[in-house]
């Protein structure tokens, strides 16, 4: 039993500074005897000795294995500790855990990604996975649109990925809450980018970001006629075991670590969740 709580050792191969608060850590598991795979949307429990453990979404697609990206915002003890680490340092990883985005249902649909801040991390895994599928298969998603909101221009993260996605035909629309003289793009909340022409009957929306953003984005999507089952989002709760054993992430009859973190809005609506009520 105890083995499932012992993390595997992973080495930091590369660090990308995404903005002042967010870094992407490119990791590789050291134990090559254990096969490792995951699905976009799943998370890992990241640990550093004496600093604890935290749930972190995998931000790279499974197609990038054996490399695994974790995009981490400095928030507290553990995340500040990893921000002080360098290439070649070691961390612990357990997982993967949780539900994934249903990428098998995406072919034939338009995908609308709506993210705020670090919320782009789990969606990045899905987006890169879908673009990879587009390259290798005919029966793939139709139109891909990304709406991405940041507080200020300096807060815009994942700029390298966004440039790459634009070159791959993704319609990327960025907005900042507070503009500056050098910014010629949109200023305002991400909900203001949600125009009726963006939603088609084939659209599946994937929403990830701060709870308040998720709440207003979902309300707008419903106004625009998006069905409750075609809105996918993720819930964040503090986690301990990550695998349905400790009850720490309990929420109205669900354990977010095993029943989520990915939920449809139709599922969320049935739960008594403070941030969405
Ligand atoms: C499924 C999932 C995926 C996630 N993916 C990512 C990701 O990709 N990138 C990323 O940067 N973060 C992600 N997070 C969030 C991350 O797990 C948390 O921010 C985590 O708390 C950071 O650990 P820490 O030790 O650095 O911070 P902590 O020391 O845990 O502090 C972080 C904040 O949480 C508060 N806090 C601490 N303990 C509790 C508690 N028991 N109850 C309520 N509040 C508390 C603190 O006051 C502080 O404001 C994810 C969380 C979940 C559940
Ligand atoms: S974190 Fe232990 S049950 Fe979810």
Give residue-wise pLDDT tens across range 243-271. 999 999 999 899 999 999 999 999 998 88
Structural domains of the chain, ranges and CATH numbers in brackets: 2-97 (2.40.30.10), 103-234 (3.40.50.80)
Q: Which two tokens stand for residue 226?
A: 């998006």
Ligand 2 center–CA 79 separation, angstroms: 20
* 150, 155, 158, 162: CA torsion to nearest 10: 50
Q: How far is it, in rounded angstroms, from Cα 74 to Cα 60?
A: 19
- Residues pairing with 94 in the sheet: 45
Mean pLDDT throughout 139-165?
Answer: 92
Distance separating alpha carbons of residues 206 and 228, to the nearest angstrom: 12
pLDDT digits (tens, 9 = 90+) for 193-218: 999 999 999 999 999 999 999 999 99
Closest ligand to Cα 97: 1
Please list the alpha-helical segments (H only) found in the chain.
77-83, 120-136, 159-167, 211-223, 256-259, 265-269
Q: For residue 97, give the ligand 1 atom closest to its CA.
A: 1
pLDDT band at 31 (very low <50, low <70, confident <90, very high): confident
Distance 75 CA to ligand 1 centre (A): 7
Q: How far is residue 212 from each of residues 31, 215, 252, 261, 274, measured CA to CA in Å?
A: 40, 5, 19, 17, 11
Q: What Å distances lie between residue 3 and 22, 27, 94, 95, CA to CA?
A: 31, 21, 10, 12
Ligand number nearest CA of 57 is 1
Does residue 165 carry a pLDDT above 70? Answer: yes
Q: Whose CA is nearest to atom 46 of ligand 1?
A: 76
Average pLDDT over residues 173-187: 93
**Distance between Cα 237 and ligand 2 center (Å):** 9
Mean pLDDT for all residues in the chain? 93
State pLDDT tens for residues 46-100.
Answer: 999 999 999 999 999 999 999 999 999 999 999 999 999 999 999 999 999 999 9
Q: What is the pLDDT of residue 34?
A: 79
Residue-level pLDDT at 52: 94
5 band by pLDDT with thresholds 50, 70 and 90 = confident
């Amino acid at each position: 039993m105890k083995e499932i709580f012992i993390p595997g050792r992973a080495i930091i191969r590369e660090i990308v500074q995404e903005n002042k608060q967010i870094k992407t850590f490119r990791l590789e598991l050291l134990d090559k005897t254990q096969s490792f795979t995951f699905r976009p949307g799943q998370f890992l429990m990241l640990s550093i000795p004496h600093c604890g453990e935290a749930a972190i979404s995998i931000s790279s697609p499974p197609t990038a294995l054996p490399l695994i990206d974790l995009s981490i915002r400095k928030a507290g003890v553990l995340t500040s500790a990893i921000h002080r680490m360098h290439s070649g340092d070691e961390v612990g990883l357990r997982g993967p855990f949780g539900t994934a985005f249903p990428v098998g249902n995406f072919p034939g649909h338009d995908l609308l990604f709506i993210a705020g801040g670090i919320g782009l991390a789990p969606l990045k895994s899905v987006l890169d996975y879908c673009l990879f599928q587009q390259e290798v298969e005919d029966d793939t998603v139709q139109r891909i649109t990304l709406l991405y909101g940041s507080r200020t221009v300096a807060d815009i993260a994942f700029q390298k990925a966004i440039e790459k996605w634009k070159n791959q035909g993704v319609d990327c629309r960025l907005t900042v809450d507070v503009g500056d003289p050098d910014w010629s793009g949109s200023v305002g909340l991400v909900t203001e980018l949600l125009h009726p022409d963006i939603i088609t009957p084939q659209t599946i929306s994937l929403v990830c970001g701060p709870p308040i953003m998720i709440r207003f984005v979902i309300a707008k999507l419903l106004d625009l006629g998006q069905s409750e089952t075609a809105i996918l989002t993720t819930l964040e709760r503090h986690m301990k075991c990550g695998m349905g054993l400790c009850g720490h992430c309990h929420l109205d009859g669900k354990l977010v670590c095993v029943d989520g973190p990915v939920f449809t809005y139709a599922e969320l609506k049935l739960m008594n969740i403070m941030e969405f009520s």
